[in-house]
Structure 1
Amino acid sequence: MTLPELFRHRDLFVGCLAIGRVPSKRTGERLRAGRYESVLDETDAAAFASLADTLLHGRGDTFSIVTQGYDYPSLARCPALEDDGRCGIHLKGKPVTCEVVPLDPLVPDKLQHLVLAGRNQSALYLGNDCIQEGPHADATLLVADGRIEDATARHALARRRSALEQEKAMWGRAVFESLRKDLFESPAALARIPAGGFLTISIVPALLAVAGASVRCRERCLDYIDSQLALIERRIAQALLRRRLDDRPVTQELRGFANAFQRARTLLATPLASRSEDRAFAASVEAYLSSADAN
Structure 2
Amino acid sequence: MTLAELFRHADRFIGCIAIGRVARRRPGERLRVGRHEAVLDEGDCAGFDALADTLLYNAGDTFSIAAQGFDYPSLGRCPALADDGRCAIHLQGKPLTCEVVPLDPLVPDSLQYLVLAERGNSAVYVGSAYIQEAKRNDAALLIDEGRIVDPRARDALARRRSALEGERAIWTQAVFDALRADLFDSAAALARIPVGGFLTISLVPALLTVAAASARCRELCIDYIDSQLALIERGIAHALTRRRLDDRPVTQQLRGFANAYQHAKARLVDAAAVELDNGERAERSDVEAYLSSAVH
- TM-score with structure 2 length normalisation? 0.95
Alignment partners' CA distance in 1, 2:35 and 2:295: 43
Give yes or no for the alignment of 1:283 onto 2:285: yes
Q: What aligned pairs does 1:171-190 form with structure 2 within 5 A after superposition?
A: 171-190=171-190
Alignment partners' CA distance in 2, 1:290 and 1:65: 22
Residue 74 (structure 1) shift:
0.5
Residue 84 (structure 1) shift:
1.1
Residue 290 of structure 1 aligns to a residue whose secondary structure is: helix
Gaps of 5+ in 2: none
Give yes or no for the alignment of 1:48 onto 2:48: yes
Residue 199 (structure 1) shift:
0.4
Alignment partners' CA distance in 2, 1:209 and 1:145: 43
Is the Cα contact below 8 Å between 1:100 and 1:156 reproduced in 2?
Answer: yes
Alignment partners' CA distance in 1, 2:281 and 2:33: 50
Give yes or no for the alignment of 1:75 onto 2:75: yes
Which moved further from structure 2: 246-255 or 283-292? 283-292
| Matched residue type, 2:230 | A
Give the equivalent residue in structure 1 for 2:118.
118
Is the Cα contact below 8 Å between 2:212 and 2:282 reproduced in 1?
Answer: no
Alignment partners' CA distance in 2, 1:42 and 1:122: 29
Give the equivalent residue in structure 2 for 1:20.
20
Alignment partners' CA distance in 2, 1:30 and 1:199: 27
Alignment partners' CA distance in 2, 1:148 and 1:196: 25
Residue 69 of structure 1 aligns to a residue whose secondary structure is: strand
Alignment partners' CA distance in 1, 2:59 and 2:82: 42
Give the equivalent residue in structure 2 for 1:137.
137
Alignment partners' CA distance in 2, 1:196 and 1:122: 14
Is the Cα contact below 8 Å between 2:104 and 2:115 reproduced in 1?
Answer: yes
Give yes or no for the alignment of 1:61 onto 2:61: yes
Is the Cα contact below 8 Å between 1:20 and 1:65 reproduced in 2?
Answer: yes
Is the Cα contact below 8 Å between 1:93 and 1:292 reproduced in 2?
Answer: no
Residue 36 (structure 1) shift:
0.4
Give the equivalent residue in structure 1 for 2:242.
242
The verdict on how the C-alpha distance between 1:40 and 1:84 changes in structure 2, with shifts beyond 3 A counting, is same
Q: May I ask how many residue pairs the two structures share in their alignment?
A: 291
Q: What aligned pairs does 1:135-284 form with structure 2 within 5 A after superposition?
A: 135-271=135-271, 279=283, 282-284=284-286
Alignment partners' CA distance in 2, 1:158 and 1:286: 24
Is the Cα contact below 8 Å between 1:215 and 1:271 reproduced in 2?
Answer: no
| Matched residue type, 2:95 | P
Could you list the per-position Cα deviations for residues 150-201 of structure 1 after superposition, in whole angstroms to 9, with x for gaps in the alignment? 0111110011101110111111111011111111111111111111000000
The verdict on how the C-alpha distance between 1:166 and 1:8 changes in structure 2, with shifts beyond 3 A counting, is same
Residue 86 of structure 1 aligns to a residue whose secondary structure is: coil
| Matched residue type, 2:194 | P
| Matched residue type, 1:285 | V
Alignment partners' CA distance in 1, 2:160 and 2:68: 13
Is the Cα contact below 8 Å between 2:16 and 2:200 reproduced in 1?
Answer: yes
- TM-score with structure 1 length normalisation? 0.95
| Matched residue type, 1:116 | L
Alignment partners' CA distance in 2, 1:76 and 1:131: 20
Could you list the per-position Cα deviations for residues 204-242 of structure 1 after superposition, in whole angstroms to 9, with x for gaps in the alignment? 000011101101100000000000001101001111111
Residue 137 (structure 1) shift:
1.0
Is the Cα contact below 8 Å between 2:213 and 2:282 reproduced in 1?
Answer: no
Alignment partners' CA distance in 1, 2:81 and 2:64: 27
Alignment partners' CA distance in 2, 1:165 and 1:288: 14
| Matched residue type, 2:184 | F
Alignment partners' CA distance in 1, 2:101 and 2:205: 27
Give yes or no for the alignment of 1:5 onto 2:35: no
| Matched residue type, 1:88 | A
